[in-house]
Amino acid sequence: MSNTMSLEHQTNTKHVVRRPQRRPLRRLAVSLLMLLALLTMIISGLPILLLYVITAVPIILAGILTLFDLGLIVALFYFDRTPLLVTSNIIAWVFVAVLAVVLSQYFAATPPITDANGQPVPGSIATLETVELNGSQQWLTIRGEDTDNPILLFLAGGPGGSELVMTRKYLGELEAHFTIVNWDQPGTGKSYNAVPFDELTLERYVDDAYALSLYLRERFGQEKIYVFGESWGSILGVLLVQQHPDLFYALITTGQMVDPIENDQIGYEMALDLLTEQGRIEDANGLRQVGPPPYAPEELLSKFNGTNVVLNNYMEAHAHGEGTHHNLLFDSLRAPEYGLVDKVTWVLGLANTFTTVYPQLYDLDLRAMDPRLDVPVYMINGRWDVNAVNSLAEEYFNYIEAPHKEWIVFEESAHTPSWDDPAHFVDVMVNTVLSQTWPE
């Protein structure tokens, strides 16, 4: 009897000792899981919220994901928060967030071209699609009210810039006269991963632009197309028509780049002069410490920043066209053409692709190349452009030999006349370029 009681006493004692040890550990584990769950809930909820404001995902689908997320929150606080329940919620929230991202990519689209009643214009085209160029899938938008209209291929600025939204938003009136093709070049936006970075060369971009031009000519049954290059795209445009003049009715450029090194050095000196004139001696000294371009690839973004801020402020203060307050970053991040992943790669392109490709242009000087461009050339320049220096562009304009060439200045524009003064740009494209070059 005594032995039995002693055994029972030892057993009870063991229980009393163990339980206080196990419960705190369990509570700690659950608390840590709860903390992880709350963090997951907050982070995973962001993609769902973004579905409503910056993607083309139907509201009903976003609503379903939202209700599912709310259901998980209710379950977490209504039921006993066991490790299994908390872990299940974490997995479910991650799944819903991934699904939101996938849906944003799937439903990315360019809006239809509509009439005054909001109905799609009969015979119009408004597509966001991929095309195979030299073995890689690359993205573009095609927009126009009539596919029998001439084709205008837009080469965006950069390198690394994606401007799918800009032609739609600022040149909508031009869609009545052209079918506008806006190409997301390799390393940009939706085409960020189209080509390995070690293959991103000037020659590759020109070759892909050539392949795209052939594709467009065949697809739309037209003998030739038009090409419009902006900034970095103006370099591509010049090389493209120089090598393949038989494919193009005309070349139109804005922000014409000529010699990147000399251009950047002039911009650097101008920034110093502006800072000195403004009495910002400390900022001027800081810019002097940075030194003039060219810069090594790993220093490009940081060292260009000081000069770019000064020059951009100058352009914004002097250019007063109707679209001069456009914001490429915000316009693009809000655009339905990009899914959530695309919005991330849009930013990455400006950084990684720019630092990969721009240094390859250090030896480029269009004035040292063949002056012949066997197509009509229209150089449209913003009066206040100090990003692509007008003096260099005008020098190159005088250098080139073309069957017809025009130097056109927009008095209220800076580096991007097509966005700064879109009504004027449309007028020039229709009543000058098209009227002079499109065969009736």
pLDDT at 327: 86
Q: How high is the mean pLDDT of the chain? A: 91
Give me 291's structure tokens.
Answer: 């030194």
pLDDT at 137: 98
User: Does the pLDDT at position 16 exceed 50?
Assistant: no
pLDDT at 150: 98
Domain range summary for the chain, segments of one domain joined by +: 2-106, 125-261+318-437
90: Cβ contacts below 8 Å, ≥ 6 apart? 33, 36, 37, 40
pLDDT at 26: 61
pLDDT in tens, 106-154: 999 999 999 989 999 999 999 999 999 999 999 999 999 999 999 999 9
Q: Which of 5-19, 235-249, 312-326 has the lowest mean pLDDT?
A: 5-19
42: confidence class by pLDDT, cuts 50, 70, 90: confident
Task: In whole angstroms, give the CA distance from residue 75 to residue 87.
Answer: 12
In the block, which residue shows the tokens 């600022």? 170
pLDDT at 401: 97
Contact in structure between 383 and 356 (CB atoms under 8 Å):
no
Contact in structure between 48 and 96 (CB atoms under 8 Å):
yes
Give me 236's structure tokens.
Answer: 């591509």
29: confidence class by pLDDT, cuts 50, 70, 90: low
Cα 175 off chain centre by: 21
User: Does the pLDDT at position 15 exceed 80?
Assistant: no
Mean predicted confidence (pLDDT) in 175-188: 98
pLDDT in tens, 269-316: 999 999 999 999 999 999 999 999 999 999 999 999 999 999 999 999
Identify the CA nearest to 419 among candidates 176, 174, 236: 174
Mean predicted confidence (pLDDT) in 342-355: 95
User: Does the pLDDT at position 7 exceed 70?
Assistant: no
User: Does the pLDDT at position 14 exceed 50?
Assistant: no
User: Does the pLDDT at position 18 exceed 60?
Assistant: no
CATH classification for the domain delimited by 125-261+318-437, as one of 3.40.50.2300, 3.10.20.30, 3.40.50.720, 3.40.50.1820: 3.40.50.1820
73: confidence class by pLDDT, cuts 50, 70, 90: confident
pLDDT at 27: 65
- Identify the residue with better confidence: 167 or 322: 167
pLDDT at 145: 97
Task: In whole angstroms, give the CA distance from residue 43 to residue 94.
Answer: 9
pLDDT at 74: 87
pLDDT in tens, 205-239: 999 999 999 999 999 999 999 999 999 999 999 99
Q: How many residues does the chain have?
A: 440
pLDDT at 2: 47
pLDDT in tens, 233-275: 999 999 999 999 999 999 999 999 999 999 999 999 999 999 9
- Identify the residue with better confidence: 363 or 41: 363
